[in-house]
Amino acid sequence: LHLFSFLDRNSRKSLAKTCHKLLEVFQDPLLWSLLNFHSPAELKKDNFLLGPALKYLSICWYSERVKVCNIEDWMKNNLQKDFCNRHENTVTDFLLEVCNRCPNLLSLTLSGCGHVTDDCILLLLMNCPNLKTLKLENCVRITDQTLEAVTLHGRSLQTLHVDFCRNITHSGLERVREKCPSVMLRAERSANMIPDNKPEKKLILEKASGKLVWL
């Protein structure tokens, strides 16, 4: 186990193929208390195990392609939609597996996961009652509903980051501060960014602005 701990996931998988004894080590839950992923594609590889031993999970996608996922759905062209369709549910499906198989999770970090929704975070908070740290960065579908879920189900939460999440509001943040004063809350830029507005909402605002000017 000590030797395996120095190897990345691919190397562990390769070494496990050499003999039955090493395969047993690869399958030992103690080896899989921490998992770091750097793209959705890595979540589909069969080079790791999910189980109750998992304590620390990080999925951080810093690729330029993240910008495509961050575009509002109604503004994407066909090429952008096709790109997103290939992996849209990848992270969400993986996190649902975590909900079902990793009840002892202590820390979760998601960065650049533009398709993760409030419902997914709600399920995580409900199924991972020991979660102490939740860090969300540049997750555009995260809204005040996640903050509300924290106040209702984040009973073990000690640290909450919602950085560069443009659909978070000041009122949502204030509610967390009011209901969960012991939580260390950080929201860099989030409530000061321009939130998503569907086209019909924008049109109404433009009309209202025009009437105001005319008056």
21-30, 109-118, 158-167, 204-213: least confident range: 204-213
Question: Is residue 72 one of the residues assigned to a domain?
Answer: yes
Q: Check whether residue 154 and residue 102 sit in a common domain.
A: yes
State the Cα–Cα distance between residues 211 and 206, nearest whole angstrom.
9
Q: Are residues 170 and 134 in the same domain?
A: yes
Q: pLDDT by residue (tens digit) across 186-200? A: 999 998 888 888 776
Q: What is the pTM of this model?
A: 0.88
Alpha-helical segments (H) within the chain: 9-16, 20-26, 66-70, 78-87, 90-101, 118-127, 144-153, 170-179, 199-214
Task: Give the pLDDT band of residue 45 (cuts 50, 70, 90).
Answer: very high
Count: domains in the chain: 2
Q: What confidence score (pLDDT) does residue 212 get?
A: 44
Task: Give the closest residue to 131 by CA, choosing from 98, 166, 91, 176.
Answer: 98
| In a shared domain, residues 10 and 87 | no
Q: Is residue 101 located within the same domain as residue 140? A: yes
